[in-house]
Structure 1
Amino acid sequence: MNASEIPKLRLHNTGLNNSPFKSPADAVSHSGVLQAQDFAAAKWSLGLRIKDSTDKDIEEAFNEGKILRTHVMRPTWHFVVPEDIRWMLELTAPRVKTLLAHYNKKLELDDALFARSNAAITRALQDHTYLTRQELKTVLANTGIETDVQRLAHIIMWAELEGLICSGPKRGKQFTYALLEERVEKAKKLSREQALSRLALNYFRSHGPAQLKDFSWWSGLTVKDAKNAIELIKPKLEQVTLDGKTYWFSARAEITAQESLSAFLLSIYDEYIIAYKDRSDISEARKIEKMISMGNALTAVIILDGKLAGTWNKALKKSRVEIRLNPFRELGKDEQEALESEVARYGKFVGLPAVVVK
């Protein structure tokens, strides 16, 4: 393997180049989790990996609980499938809680308060009662727990990390929360070694070739735990060292001629981008990091042949969706046509004609 193969293999292994999955649950299960703090963008990330899928398909899967959205691994939202949520929380939540400890102290949140808030939230959600964040704020206020925006976010996140609550079905445009024990069937517990092995295998199968530090970043595990996880599955991995960097991957994919030229309109939080600490294989040093740091000011990027090639943004109108492409360089005819095809694909996904605007 040489350096030029890394983006091609990642495009294949993440499911972008061949849309191999039949359902949202299949796509999420393959990846392990899929970052989802931007819900609309996360649905599109799934849509790219599922042949002929639509926004409506993924919304329905979410509302039916076939995929869930909760805080797991790093302290941000991810999609996860029901059969994985319990063992994944058990493995990664202690690390996330450690990372949150400083902020909780500043917000005057301690174990005693979390015990009260967890109990109040659990009572309120019993018997398949689905409540919005603002409704939970009222529940907590009635219990005598003060909540500004940050305190409320941390209180609810803590209940997620404790495995008490997860996403419920949307109510119109609003998100709701549900009791995890009522939303998810019981599953067989995994030992810590089994959980580490499964998480690592998921990652390198769906994101490889990747480095140790990439896996540690993505999973939120310590470097020591990440190393142990790789050791547990080493017989199932291939490895290669390029320019002093050791990459791991589960199996070398067959890259067809048709897959060699590719164009994608991605969220900057798509797993192809966000799931690595070292993103130099797809962009100039620090360029994507600067984009990510811009937050909502810049949330979408153009990928050509696996490399960062520009940005894009959309505007949903009543009868169409307008896409503005901002490539970093002048595009060739084939590249322009490939991007226009992706614009049309996005329109089909959201159910509106899509047009390129200047």
Structure 2
Amino acid sequence: MTTTIGADDLLRLRMHTQRLGADAVAGQIGGGVPEARPAERVAASVRHMLAMQGQDWKASRWAVGIRTPGSAVADVAAAFNEGLIVRSWPVRGTIHIVAAEDVGWMQDATNAGPLVGAPKRRAYLGITDAMLDRLVEVSIEALTTHDSLDRDEISTFWDEAGLEWKPNWRYHLVWWLCQNGHATFGPIGETGEPRLVLASRWIRSPRSLTGDEAFSELAARYAAPRGAVRATDLAWWAGISVPDARRALTLAVERGSLVPLVLDGARGAASQLWADPEALDSAGAVPDWLLLPGFDEHLLGYKDRDPQFDAAAHLNLVVPGRNGVFRATVVRDGRAVGTWQRSTRKREGVAITPFPGEHVDPDALRPHVDRWTAFHDEPGIPITIRELDAPREVAARRGHQRAAAEASAEARERYAGVLDRLGQ
């Protein structure tokens, strides 16, 4: 018999499995810390989530940290430096943080979508097949003879090989190297960001999954940390077709990893959910407050973001101009109720902007800001509540659009298509 759950149950289940439930938050703020090494606990959090959005490097580290009690930004760096986690493009052509052993099989299972549009993109950029082959060859040679390289360093080898390349090619070429499993971003460099490494050398114990086994694993491990999901959620997140997503979920049910659910009050496909059976009886309370980073899986983990977010009312406040760039959110009782940022003005500290009609209590948020500052080793940061200023929001949005229009060629290439990849 299929279990029926309500919207409140769905929210509670999602928060619990994302390690954002009340018990997990209590552990962050003052509870005990497990005895495993910090880098291993960081890797375990990433492995639990299967993959976590990585567009914003600083935000992605906090996404890991908030799910790893007692961790600090240095622990995330240690997990990268030890080869436990990497930064690459495992699904839908979008960069994520992922456990090192998982990136290869995930790409094999989902690459059809991201790669199908690559020739058209290269034609637009003016990259011929012969030039692509030569750039890949030179890049692999460089990564073979060097432990790691950053984007600037790898492009110097293109220069030394006498290749005439354009600045707006570089993002596509680095993406192509990683998307095809030649390279990945591994150890942290002097700039504080991961450096390119040869994937075959850096990833010591890659998993090998193919066919139905890979699709079943993808469905089970995507759904388990996201509570209960629809087939359209998996299809969007993984960049696969809805029929393939349904088949993958069915395979996961057949192996006992997932069970089907029905959402009370919904109709048709919207009522059909899948969840990890072990999570159904263990979901606890939803925390009063959270400070989540931009691009967090709390929202980005699903195509349909109810019940965590009222997209109809607030999408333009979280994604200004619907440009695909998700702001950091203030979450109350599991739902996004505002945005926040580390202000450039020292006296403002963490600046919080509630949505219209929402009240944010700075005293209630103080422990969460303190946890964020402890993670980044920036103690004593104040909290400022900003009222939503419609003219200022409009001006900021226009300013962002002007800045995007004036961005460098590489930046334009880097963010080309991000709106489509984020499902907006």
TM-score clears 0.5: yes
By how many angstroms is 1:188 displaced? 4.7
**Local SS of the residue matching 2:292:** strand
By how many angstroms is 1:109 displaced? 2.7
Moved more, 265-274 or 135-144: 135-144
Indicate yes or no: 2:3 matched with 1:4: no
**Local SS of the residue matching 1:24:** helix
Aligned CA distance change for structure 1 residues 76 and 147 (closer, same or farther; 3 Å): farther
Aligned CA distance change for structure 1 residues 49 and 186 (closer, same or farther; 3 Å): closer
Indicate yes or no: 2:65 matched with 1:47: yes
Aligned pairs for 1:63-82 (under 5 A) are: 63-82=81-100
Which letter does structure 2 place at the counterpart of 1:231?
A: T
Aligned pairs for 1:106-125 (under 5 A) are: 106-125=124-143
By how many angstroms is 1:248 displaced? 1.4
Indicate yes or no: 2:349 matched with 1:322: yes
> 1:338 pairs with 351, 364, 371, which one?
364
CA distance in 2, matches of 1:198, 1:356: 42
Indicate yes or no: 2:17 matched with 1:13: yes
Conservation of the 8 A alpha-carbon contact between 2:109 and 2:210: no
Aligned CA distance change for structure 1 residues 7 and 39 (closer, same or farther; 3 Å): same
Number of the residue aligned with 2:150:
132
For residues 157-207 of structure 1, the C-alpha deviation after alignment (integer angstroms, 9 at most, x for no partner) is 111111110013222115421000110124352221111111110111011
**Local SS of the residue matching 2:187:** coil
The runs of 5 or more residues in structure 1 that have no matched partner are none
Aligned CA distance change for structure 1 residues 287 and 179 (closer, same or farther; 3 Å): farther
Indicate yes or no: 2:377 matched with 1:351: yes
CA distance in 1, matches of 2:118, 2:308: 31
> 2:249 pairs with 230, 236, 242, which one?
230
By how many angstroms is 1:313 displaced? 0.8
CA distance in 2, matches of 1:13, 1:165: 31
Aligned CA distance change for structure 1 residues 271 and 337 (closer, same or farther; 3 Å): same
Number of the residue aligned with 2:195:
176
The runs of 5 or more residues in structure 2 that have no matched partner are 28-33, 386-424
By how many angstroms is 1:51 displaced? 0.9
Conservation of the 8 A alpha-carbon contact between 1:238 and 1:250: no
Conservation of the 8 A alpha-carbon contact between 1:239 and 1:247: yes
By how many angstroms is 1:285 displaced? 3.3
By how many angstroms is 1:336 displaced? 4.3
Conservation of the 8 A alpha-carbon contact between 2:93 and 2:179: no
Indicate yes or no: 2:224 matched with 1:205: yes
Conservation of the 8 A alpha-carbon contact between 1:121 and 1:139: yes
Number of the residue aligned with 2:409:
none
Aligned CA distance change for structure 1 residues 216 and 240 (closer, same or farther; 3 Å): same
**Local SS of the residue matching 2:274:** strand
CA distance in 2, matches of 1:155, 1:63: 24
**Local SS of the residue matching 1:276:** coil
Aligned pairs for 1:270-281 (under 5 A) are: 270-281=296-307
Q: What is the TM-score of this pair, normalised by structure 2?
A: 0.77
Which letter does structure 2 place at the counterpart of 1:315?
A: S
For residues 290-346 of structure 1, the C-alpha deviation after alignment (integer angstroms, 9 at most, x for no partner) is 33355597621111111110011113789x9911111223537xx544322211111
Indicate yes or no: 2:326 matched with 1:304: no
CA distance in 2, matches of 1:64, 1:107: 36
Indicate yes or no: 2:54 matched with 1:28: no
Conservation of the 8 A alpha-carbon contact between 1:133 and 1:175: no
By how many angstroms is 1:63 displaced? 2.3
CA distance in 1, matches of 2:98, 2:299: 18
**Local SS of the residue matching 1:264:** strand
Which letter does structure 1 place at the counterpart of 2:384?
A: V
Number of the residue aligned with 2:102:
84
Conservation of the 8 A alpha-carbon contact between 2:330 and 2:340: yes
CA distance in 2, matches of 1:261, 1:169: 34
Aligned CA distance change for structure 1 residues 292 and 102 (closer, same or farther; 3 Å): farther
CA distance in 2, matches of 1:150, 1:127: 26
CA distance in 2, matches of 1:207, 1:214: 10
CA distance in 1, matches of 2:228, 2:314: 19
Conservation of the 8 A alpha-carbon contact between 2:6 and 2:263: no
Aligned pairs for 1:88-167 (under 5 A) are: 88-167=106-185
Conservation of the 8 A alpha-carbon contact between 2:89 and 2:178: yes
CA distance in 1, matches of 2:42, 2:348: 23
CA distance in 2, matches of 1:93, 1:293: 30
For residues 232-286 of structure 1, the C-alpha deviation after alignment (integer angstroms, 9 at most, x for no partner) is 0124323113311122111214333xx2343111123111111111113222234
Aligned CA distance change for structure 1 residues 357 and 275 (closer, same or farther; 3 Å): same
For residues 89-145 of structure 1, the C-alpha deviation after alignment (integer angstroms, 9 at most, x for no partner) is 211223211133332221123433222111100100114421110111121223343
Aligned CA distance change for structure 1 residues 280 and 188 (closer, same or farther; 3 Å): closer
Which letter does structure 2 place at the counterpart of 1:239?
A: L
Aligned CA distance change for structure 1 residues 293 and 119 (closer, same or farther; 3 Å): farther
**Local SS of the residue matching 1:83:** coil
Conservation of the 8 A alpha-carbon contact between 2:104 and 2:207: no
Which letter does structure 1 place at the counterpart of 2:116?
A: T
Moved more, 296-305 or 151-160: 296-305
Count, aligned residues: 353
CA distance in 2, matches of 1:139, 1:38: 27
Aligned CA distance change for structure 1 residues 75 and 25 (closer, same or farther; 3 Å): same
CA distance in 2, matches of 1:165, 1:64: 16
Over aligned residue pairs, what C-alpha RMSD do you find? 2.4
Which letter does structure 2 place at the counterpart of 1:9?
A: L
Aligned CA distance change for structure 1 residues 168 and 5 (closer, same or farther; 3 Å): same
